[in-house]
Structure 1
Amino acid sequence: MKLIKILGWIFVPYIMVFVDWKRLGKIGKRVGAAWAILALIIGIAGRDTNNKPNPSNTTESANVTSAVVNSPKTEAVSSSQTVTTDQQGVSASATDVNTTQNAQRIQAKVLEVVDGDTIKVKINDKEETVRFLLVDTPETKHPKYGVQPFGKEASDFTKQLLTEKTVELEQDVNNGPDKYGRLLYYIYVDGKSVQEQLLEKGLARVAYVYVPNVKYVEQYRKIQEQAQKAGVGIWSIENYAQEDGYHSDVVKKNEPEPSKNTVATQTSPKPQPNPQPQPTPQPVQEVYYANCSEAKAAGAAPLYRGEPGYREKLDRDKDGVACEK
């Protein structure tokens, strides 16, 4: 409507003036021109008035501005609430991770400890043989190697730790079975890793590392390095535990051979005969050999110090035996 009024005030007088300009007299022309100019001024003034802010609108704008100024606090509160929610979400996720890890562990009753790294357990009312993942202890029942050094110590330790206990079995990516039909698990008793305890005491080495079951391999290797530096258990014998297994032959080579004195000490003493009375020594006849040829011709060579015919001159190397050659 305002636009129509402006157009009317501005353009209608001009149209009337130019249409009737020739018919108007001098006064009429002046009045028409004045009217057109006045209409133009009023139109421009009205347009400026419309552009001026309305007090009510200004108040509303101020309210809006104050609302906008105050709105960050509200947004900040909302943001803090969002952060809190996110933190709870992270906590919940961590809880979910722990729950998942615990869910991967199953409880089993130990029926028998076979050796240091193998046990028999009862899972879902079924007997299963379980091999400890990522570790290897010396043998005690191997048909070829027999009882290896520290094999009995490892077996006794595992028996003491797990006999008639309820353990937790943690699976890696898969749990086997291996080529012997044994299941593969990480073993825990009283919340502690059995593999880690064997490695700490030098009763096992990190071995049989096959992808994808490598979850704790780096952790186990760090524990093994500490046992190696301390020289405990299998690491107390140089070159015994190696990458390809245990070398009992190294142990045998390093064992000191028993000395003759040791053997004589360990042998039971023989009974000694009763001492016999010694005959009264007879005076020794003086014998003289000019040289070794004479001694040999007489069948007396070699001549020992203290015997008849021995002279230092005949004993060239001064070893107490003359004419030995």
Structure 2
Amino acid sequence: MKKIIMALFFSALLVSGCTEETNTATTSETNTIQGIAASSKETATKYDISDFEEYELQDIIDGDTIRIKYNGSSEKVRLLLIDAPETNHETLGEQPFGPEAKEFLKQLLAGQDSVYVEFDVTYRDKYKRLLAYIYTKDGISVQEQLLENGLVRVAYIYDPNTKHVDWFKSIQKTAQHNAIGIWSVEDYVTNRGYDKEVYYAAVNDENKSTVEEDKLNMSENNASCKIKGNINSKGNKIYHMPGQRDFENTVAEEMFCTEEDAKDAGFVPAKQ
């Protein structure tokens, strides 16, 4: 089982309007997302967007859907060829990495009052949403960055809107190989979407493994502690070192790894 390697991706709700306690708990999560988005802005490839159309950005709905002002109307835009985990689905609820994908997209588009839109062959899906590839004002591909950071999968590949499918699959392959984001838990991503039961089972197994490993390390450490601490009939605390006369016959009430540990516990060295 692959390890989960991005600390921001457990169960934090990166949304506004939370309680003070929740805001405190998610501060480091949000800061991590901000850092990843900031790094992405600095290192991302900038594409020529001169042939694309610019529209007013109105809202970030989730990790794969935004809202723009299109020809005078407020319209949802479904980002082509990608699928983000859900944030608040009526039946699926919230899925791991859903809030993080949405927050990343918000940070990537932070401070931008418009986006550049590249359409494919057809403009709308069966729900009447616009379908498009989205770019920032300085030419960063939103889909590319979401895929590169392991926050979405390549999905909903329907002809004739397949212009960038090979490009996106190559980016996904790298993220998958590096086991980042949604790819950090094996089998969380499926052909149908995301399986949060698999994700949480993997997290629980990982936590159990960590606990067992800690116990084993503690046991091994204790086994290497050879100094015997004994309390005699007068109540005196005495520690015995290996090789001393009474060491083998001493019944240890406490074991210590170093003489300093024994002294800190109030024991004094045996005279012989």
**Shorter chain as normaliser: what TM range?**
0.5 to 0.7
Partner of 2:61: 114
For structure 2, list consecutive stretches of 5 or more residues without a partner in the other structure.
1-46, 212-272
Shift of 1:102: 4.0
Structure 1 letter corresponding to 2:158: Y
In the other structure, the counterpart of 1:180 is 127
Indicate if the aligned counterparts of 1:111 and 1:163 stay in contact, CA closer than 8 A.
no
Cα offset, 1:199, TM superposition = 0.3
Q: TM-score, normalising length from structure 1?
A: 0.47
Aligned partner of 2:74 in structure 1 is 127
Please state whether the residue corresponding to 1:192 is helix, strand or coil. Answer: coil
- Superposition RMSD on alpha carbons, in Å? 2.1
Deviation at 1:128, TM superposition (A): 1.0
CA distance in 2, matches of 1:192, 1:167: 10
Higher helix share: 1
CA-CA distance at 1:244 after TM superposition: 1.4
Which residue in the other structure is 2:117 paired with?
169
* Deviations 1:14-41, CA, capped at 9 Å, x for gaps: xxxxxxxxxxxxxxxxxxxxxxxxxxxx
Q: Is the contact made by 1:111 and 1:164 (CA closer than 8 Å) also made in structure 2?
A: no
Match in the other structure for 1:226: 174
Q: 1:163: how far off?
A: 4.2
TM-score by length of 2: 0.55
- In 1, the alpha carbon distance for the partners of 2:68 and 2:53 equals 11
Q: Post-superposition, which runs of at least 4 consecutive aligned residues in structure 1 deviate over 2 A? A: 255-259
CA positional deviation for 1:146: 1.0
Whose strand proportion is higher, 1 or 2?
Answer: 2
Number of residue-to-residue matches in the alignment: 160
In the alignment, structure 1 segments of 5+ residues that lack a partner are 1-97, 263-325
The structure, 1 or 2, with the larger RCO (C-alpha pairs under 8 Å, 6+ apart) is: 2
Q: What does 1:76-225 align with in structure 2 at a 5 Å threshold?
A: 102-103=50-51, 105-163=52-110, 165=112, 166-176=114-124, 178-189=125-136, 190-225=138-173
- Does the residue aligned with 1:191 lie in a helix, a strand or coil? coil
What CA distance in whole angstroms lies between the structure 1 residues aligned with 2:115 and 2:201? 40
Identity %: 47
SS of residue matched to 1:215: coil
Amino acid at match of 2:77: V
Q: Contact 1:168/1:188 (CA < 8 Å) preserved in 2?
A: yes
Query: CA–CA distance in 2 between the matches of 1:193 and 1:251?
Result: 28
Q: Which of 1 and 2 has greater Rg?
A: 1
Give the AA of the match of 1:132: L
